[in-house]
Amino acid sequence: MELTLYNSLHREKNVFTPMNPKRVTMYNCGPTVYSYAHIGNARAAVVADILFRVLRHIYGEDHVVYARNITDVDDKIIAAAKEQGVPISEITKKYAKIYQDDLAALNCLPPTTEPKATEHIGGMIALIETLIKDGYAYESDGHVFFDVSKYDEYGKLSGNTLDALKKGDRVGEGEVARKKRAADFVLWKPELDGVGWDAPFGKGRPGWHIECSAMAKSELGETIDIHCGGVDLKFPHHENEIAQSNCAHGKPMANYWVHNEFLNMAKRDGSSDKMSKSLGNVVLIRDLLEEWDGEVIRLALLKAHYRSELVWSEELLKESKAQLDGWYREIKKYRDVEFEPLAYNHPIFNDLNTIESLVIFNDFDFLTGAAKQTANLLGLLQKKPEEWFRGKGKAGGLTDAEIDELIAERSTARTDKNWARSDEIRDIFKAENIVLEDSKDGTTWRRG
């Protein structure tokens, strides 16, 4: 069974061949945990989850190692902790847990390992020492910078050239005056508000890019099979990861680079805008989960190929909800269907083609295990139909237990011919948008 992937580094689609099929490695850049994650972050996580599921299907669950990091030291985190007057760990633990819970609600499998930046400071210092020793990095006023002129292939991933490059810094990562050239990027910088670690080049904290290089090496090795993430990370983050890792180890950091395109927000005129705070159109995963089931959000995220723009809208969510309702009605027809092998030409193996994979649900009989297998690879239809149609109650509404009690009371009222009470209960359910379905086997309910 062959999987083809588009490799951003070489700009072509190739058959994926792991270095060791008994230990397939993939790394995905995780969150900087100082605030809530938005739906664009969710797209990158869901794409990585689809890839993880497909690799596990091909090579076996025990033979795929997926690392998704948590950046828990960063200028923004330090600033948030200072503003709120709480320890940094309180900020990072809170938002790391929220991120994990949000992705679990979207049916994302937990990664094999979830390294934290603060647990790998020693590895970062060791990498920086190597880069300084080998002439790829230099010290300047308490900072350490990577000298991009020393790496001939710098810009290969993003298509930039040194002459055209803007500075590769995240906000607050050093001053241009301290660098030899604007494109040089920071590896280490002085401590901020007392946050820092002892190092041969001075007490300080790591730059953003060196964190992922150190964590990927520690968890997966000097060269990994697949590095994935959003296209927004291609430059400067991934470009800089490649430069520092390749120079430190004398070998490629990753053999395949997989990037998902932007998620943009629909406008009333049919066009789309980038999601940004300045436009006031940032949509948080946490807010969406208040109104929509996680599977609805996940299906909406799969409505465009991962290398194409996805335009996000309320209509996309409504469409996804309607489709899932229809599919769940169909799968009521089968129980305990055995999995069937997927065809070698299944579209999911062709560069993770989720669009054509979704068509299978319209073409296949839901009584087949192949459709069930496809659903599992897409992370969809993971609930029992009864659970799906019960949905999520509105805030302050009836709980599932209270609904069951009222159904039992309704049955007694009808037996006793207490039509007044039976009608009262009917009106309660109507107000709660709860639909009762009576049959010879009893009464079931769902939210309309």
Phi, psi of 398, rounded to the nearest 5 degrees: -65, 140
Instruction: Give the single-character DSSP code of 166.
Output: P
Q: Residue 300 CB: number of other CB atoms within 10 A?
A: 27
Q: State whether 149 and 57 are in the same domain.
A: yes
Give yes or no: residues 248 and 175 share one domain.
yes
Q: What is the CATH number of the domain that holds 147?
A: 3.40.50.620
Q: Give the pLDDT score at 334.
A: 64
Confidence at residue 429, expressed as pLDDT on a 0 to 100 scale: 83
Q: Tell me: do 431 and 372 sit in the same domain.
A: no
Which one of 260, 285, 308 terminates a domain?
260
Q: Do 252 and 269 fall into the same domain?
A: no
189 and 269, same domain (yes or no) = no
Angle at 22 between CA 241 and CA 26, to 5 degrees: 25
Q: Assess whether 303 and 370 both reside in one domain.
A: yes
- Domain C-terminal end among 359, 387, 415: 387
Return the beta strands (E) in 69-159 as ranges: 137-140, 143-146
CA distance linking residue 361 with residue 97, whole number of Å? 34
What is the domain extent for residue 435?
Answer: 393-447
Q: Are residues 19 and 97 in the same domain?
A: yes
Domain boundary among 230, 260, 290: 260
* Binned average pLDDT, 10 residues per bin, the chain of 448 residues: 95 97 97 95 98 97 98 93 93 97 98 97 98 97 95 92 56 64 92 94 95 98 98 95 98 98 90 87 94 96 97 96 88 61 80 93 66 89 86 70 86 88 85 78 74
Q: State residue 23's pLDDT score.
A: 98
Residues 216 and 303 in one domain: no
Half-sphere CA count of 334, side-chain side, radius 13 A: 16
pTM above the 0.75 mark? yes
Quote the number of domains for the chain: 3
pLDDT, position 119: 97
Q: Are residues 268 and 241 in the same domain?
A: no
pLDDT the model gives residue 71: 96
DSSP state string for 187-253: EEEE-BTTB-B--TT-SEEE-HHHHHHHHHHHHH-SSEEEEEEEGGGIIIIIHHHHHHHHHHHSS-S
Cβ(348)–Cβ(2) under 8 Å?
A: no
Encoded amino acid at 128, one letter: I
Per-residue model confidence (pLDDT) at position 366: 56
Question: Are 44 and 172 within one domain?
Answer: yes
Same domain, 183 and 136: yes
Q: Are residues 142 and 227 in the same domain?
A: yes
